[in-house]
Amino acid sequence: DTGVSQNPRHKITKRGQNVTFRCDPISEHNRLYWYRQTLGQGPEFLTYFQNEAQLEKSRLLSDRFSAERPKGSFSTLEIQRTEQGDSAMYLCASSTLRFRTGQVLTYEQYFGPGTRLTVT
Amino acid sequence: SQQGEEDPQALSIQEGENATMNCSYKTSINNLQWYRQNSGRGLVHLILIRSNEREKHSGRLRVTLDTSKKSSSLLITASRAADTASYFCATVTGANSKLTFGKGITLSVRP
């Protein structure tokens, strides 16, 4: 399977615990995104990487959240001291960015199956 | 914040009918994309239309874009029960290419 994979698929944790999620993007994709989706809503952007550089973080990403993408391959999203409001589906996506004379071409994002986090 | 607003919020049709879903957005865009989400396959990309394009087709899908009205529509022709899902429009406004999603439309196709 050459799609985006995420682990674990489900995580139940107690309030105050730390959790870490992993995303493995499509291998040739240079961009990796994290989104969060709550029930009845569309996904909301959290952060993204171009290769190993984290280029933007949403204000939704409090200081309890940290994301890394060492070596520009897989990425991890860690939530420290989880709160019940962190319960959501965490989605990872990857895509390709290409440059052509005078243009930056962006392409569709391929999403993983998500990690559903439940904080009790 | 969510830029796209889909309309209607829910749509129920008979198999074989066409389904039209609309999306409006607020700021200038680079491109607009439609995604489908169901519990079985997660979030799947359907079609991308760039800001300098007005219409695109992909199989049974037809998407239009009117940048003057800041709106897009997705038409699914000859719907099937397997088209039952939530549909989201998402816009890309800058070089970061992050997606800003709407709240989605729930489509039910009755066999």
Beta bridge partners of B58: B61
A51, A64, B22 from A94: Cα distances, Å: 11, 23, 26
Neighbouring-strand partners of residue A31 = A50, A95
| pLDDT given at position B40 | 67
Across the A/B interface, how many CB contacts are shorter than 8 Å? 61
* pLDDT attached to residue B47: 93
pLDDT of residue B5: 79
What residues of chain B score a pLDDT lower than 50?
Answer: none
The beta-strand segments (E) located in chain A are: 5-7, 10-13, 19-24, 31-37, 44-50, 53-57, 65-68, 75-79, 88-95, 97-100, 103-106, 110-111, 115-119
**CB contact (8 A) between residue A55 and residue B96:** yes
pLDDT score recorded for residue A1: 52
Nearest to B35 by CA among A23, A113, A42, A2: A42
Judge whether B96 is closer than 8 Å to chain A, CB to CB. Answer: yes
Q: State chain B's mean pLDDT as an integer.
A: 91
Nearest by CB to B45, from A40, A45, A109: name it.
Answer: A109
CA-based nearest distance B66→chain A, Å: 20
Contact A48/B100, CB-based, under 8 Å? no
Query: Block means of pLDDT (10 residues each) for chain A, length 120 residues?
Result: 89 98 93 94 94 89 93 94 96 83 72 96
